[in-house]
Amino acid sequence: MNMTLNERIKERRKELGYGLRTMAALANISPAFLVDIEAGARRPGPGVLAELANVLRLPLSELQGLDPRVTPEVKAWMDSEPRVAAMLARLCAHPDRDNVMRGLEEVLR
C-alpha cells in the first residue's frame, strides 16, 4: 500500500514517540495545524514541510515525494537526480529565496 504524506508524518511521529503537542512545538506549528496535516485536511507549505522533515529525521525529499502537489514528472526527476531535491531544500531554507527564485525564473526564460 502506498502511504500518503499525512500518513507518513503521523506514522513517523509515533515511531519517535512524540505526542501531538511535543511534535507541534518542535516543528514550530500549532497542535491544531499538525492535527489537520495528519488528518489530510491541510497540507504543509515548503517551509513547514522542511521543518517536519528535520524534526522527524527524514530526508526532505521523502516527504516531498509524498506531497501530491509535486507532479509525477518532477518526482521522477527528483528520484533520478538527488541534486534536485538537495537544491530545493537549500532554496527552501535560503533567507532570500524570493530573489533567488526570481533569478532562476530569469535564467529559465
pLDDT digits (tens, 9 = 90+) for 46-68: 899 999 999 999 999 899 888 87
C-alpha cell at position 22: 511535543
Domain 5-107 has CATH 1.10.260.40: yes
- Cβ 62 vs Cβ 88: under 8 Å: no
User: What's the rounded Cα separation, in Å, for the pair 38 and 67?
Assistant: 13
Structural domain boundaries of the chain?
5-107
Is the pLDDT reported for residue 84 higher than 70? yes
- Give this prediction's pTM: 0.64
Length of the chain: 109
Place of cell 506549528: 29
CA distances (Å), 74 to each of 13, 44, 69, in order?
27, 18, 10
Number of H helices, E strands in the chain: 8, 0
Report pLDDT for 69. 79
Instruction: Please write the tens of the pLDDT for every residue from 17-47.
Output: 999 999 999 999 999 999 999 999 999 988 9
